Amino acid sequence: MGMDPLISWFRSHGGAFDDSAMGFSSIKGQGWGAVALRDLSEGHVLFTIPRDLTLSTHTCTLPELFGHSEWQKYNLHTGWAGLMLCMMWEEAQGSSSKWSEYLAFLPTAFDTPMFWSESDLEELKGTSMGADKIGRDGAENDYREKVIPALRSRPDLFGADPSTRFYSLANYHLMGSRILSRSFLVEKWDGKDEEDDTEGPDNTTSMDMDVDEPPAVSIPAAEGGTETEEEPLLDGKDSDSDDENDPTDIAMVPMADMLNARYESENAKLFYEQRDLRMVTTKAISTGEQIWNTYGDPPNSDLLRRYGHVDLIPLAEGGLGNPADIVDIRADIVVNSVSELGLSQSPQSSAERVDWWLEECDDDGFVLEMNYELPNELISFVRLLLLPVSEWSKIRVKSRLPKAKIDDKILSVAINVLKRRIAEYSTTYEEDERLLSENSVASGLSTNKRHSVIVRLGEKRILRGALSKVQERLESATSSAAGVKEQSKKKENG
């Protein structure tokens, strides 16, 4: 199916689309992508979407028909369940839905781990993507606890046997994945900058305005600034992320969701205006180049979880990977390392300190990045576990975390921690490298397996880099200490 029907539908509902500037191509491994049809300068408006063409719980008529107080009673105003129900309902309306042509264009299958077999999920063992992050159980709970009761309460709206077809659990998961990979956080217009709307297409005021505020960059999770996994949003628990992102601002934005993204490649962005949203180029783009939005440059584990793809670009240190990759280290690995090395004051004392740490900073894990540095929080946490009892009492009274100061003991603990973390994967770095190189053309790893190997390898690259940095540091510390000893011996002797 070409894109013409979508463009016609878009225009007939008030959207403006510059087909002299932008077209769509099917791009290998990426689905559809937007491409520049001629050289474009920065600030070019590619298309404009009226706000009422976005699909959200504000624009869909279901909440009104259902009754706003009932909507709240069934808890459809928290998390994503309300929007998911709206999307299922719109699809059930067939051609009488304003969005029927749009919905027909949305993907019906995903490469995200949400839909993987158990054996494919095994491949992710050790990575930052545990089952809790995939969020399948949270979605199913919501479906049972919010959606089914709401469906049953209104046979006039949803039919007598609603859990079949349009309102099935499978369709619910599908809508969740469409939101996860394609939605935007479209905040209400706050009344600022009224003239904006009347200015021409190359209007820099609106761009300036949006530089300070988050532009309507795709995907609520990417814009939240916090790890908004699907699960907490779906089950609507009042986590911090929910406070930041009003779930009713989450919207499907036709046309804007046709743009792909790649690490630091953004050359177009969605900007908010009073009555519509505009996709504007943020750089000059040459004929034939892809037009990229940004998804917030997340690590490959997050890209895979939300969108079903990974970024592989040339790295400064050689090879291919995602420079935004990270690796999580759970605090319990650190506690176990300290005790294995016989450095903890006592098991009871460690437990006490860990509880205090959690109260003080609520972090039960640490994040390593591509710079291979030990995070300050990790150093501070190790120091906390190593402190003599008298000092521990002092900092506890002061309610201040230990300073992130490195010494040999801390380096030894860090080495143990990194080795333990590396051992959590079922394959080695070298095995993964081999899998990718052998596989690249001939031996045919499945897409899911290949993606898993890329995620694992990215994390292991960081762990290896951090380990060799820490080992070097410890070696040079020990050799310079030995040097000092040697010198003072010489002095004594002579």
Ligand X SMILES: C[S@@+](CC[C@H](N)C(=O)[O-])C[C@H]1O[C@@H](n2cnc3c(N)ncnc32)[C@H](O)[C@@H]1O
Q: Which residues bind ligand X (CB under 6 A)?
A: 29-33, 107, 181-182, 257-262, 307-309
Which residue, 25 or 476, has its beta carbon nearer to ligand X?
25
Q: Determine the residue type at 209.
A: M
Tokens of 183: 């939605």
Angstrom distance (rounded) from CA 180 to CA 359: 32
Tell the smallest beta-carbon distance from residue 453 to ligand X (Å).
16
Which residue, 85 or 261, has its beta carbon nearer to ligand X?
261
Which residue, 1 or 160, has its beta carbon nearer to ligand X?
1
Cβ–Cβ < 8 Å for 62, 30: no
Tell the smallest beta-carbon distance from residue 124 to ligand X (Å).
18
Handedness of CA 265, 7, 249, 276 (dihedral sign): positive
Tell the smallest beta-carbon distance from residue 23 to ligand X (Å).
14
Length of the chain: 494
Tell the smallest beta-carbon distance from residue 319 to ligand X (Å).
18
Which residue, 257 or 421, has its beta carbon nearer to ligand X?
257
Which residue, 2 or 29, has its beta carbon nearer to ligand X?
29
Tell the smallest beta-carbon distance from residue 219 to ligand X (Å).
8
Which residue, 30 or 61, has its beta carbon nearer to ligand X?
30
The helix or strand, by DSSP H or E, that contains position 184, with its residue range, turns out to be strand 183-185
How far is CA 45 from each of CA 21, 204, 235, rounded to the nearest angstrom? Answer: 9, 11, 37
Tell the smallest beta-carbon distance from residue 258 to ligand X (Å).
5
The helix or strand, by DSSP H or E, that contains position 339, with its residue range, turns out to be helix 331-340
With CA atoms as reference, report the closest residue to 88 among 126, 62, 58, 49.
Answer: 62
Tokens of 213: 């505020």
Tell the smallest beta-carbon distance from residue 34 to ligand X (Å).
8
Cβ-closest position to ligand X? 31
Tell the smallest beta-carbon distance from residue 56 to ligand X (Å).
16
Q: What angle do CA 286, 292, 293 make, to 5 degrees?
A: 140
Which residue, 206 or 260, has its beta carbon nearer to ligand X?
260
Angstrom distance (rounded) from CA 313 to CA 370: 14
Which residue, 180 or 422, has its beta carbon nearer to ligand X?
180
Which residue, 150 or 179, has its beta carbon nearer to ligand X?
179
Angstrom distance (rounded) from CA 173 to CA 161: 19
Which residue, 51 or 309, has its beta carbon nearer to ligand X?
309
Which residue, 176 or 308, has its beta carbon nearer to ligand X?
308
| Composition of the chain by helix, strand, coil, percent to 5 | 55, 10, 35
Cβ–Cβ < 8 Å for 254, 278: no
Tokens of 297: 């440059």
How large is the angle between the packed helices 331-340 and 376-386, nearest 10 degrees? 40
How far is CA 173 from each of CA 180, 185, 309, rounded to the nearest angstrom? Answer: 10, 20, 18
What is the DSSP annotation of 240-302? HHHHHS-GGGEEE-TTGGG-EE-TT---EEEEE-SSEEEEEESS-B-TT-EEEE------HHH
SS3 32: strand
Tell the smallest beta-carbon distance from residue 257 to ligand X (Å).
4
Which residue, 101 or 424, has its beta carbon nearer to ligand X?
101
Q: What angle do CA 131, 137, 140 make, to 5 degrees?
A: 155
Tell the smallest beta-carbon distance from residue 450 to ligand X (Å).
12
With CA atoms as reference, report the closest residue to 234 among 363, 147, 338, 300.
Answer: 147
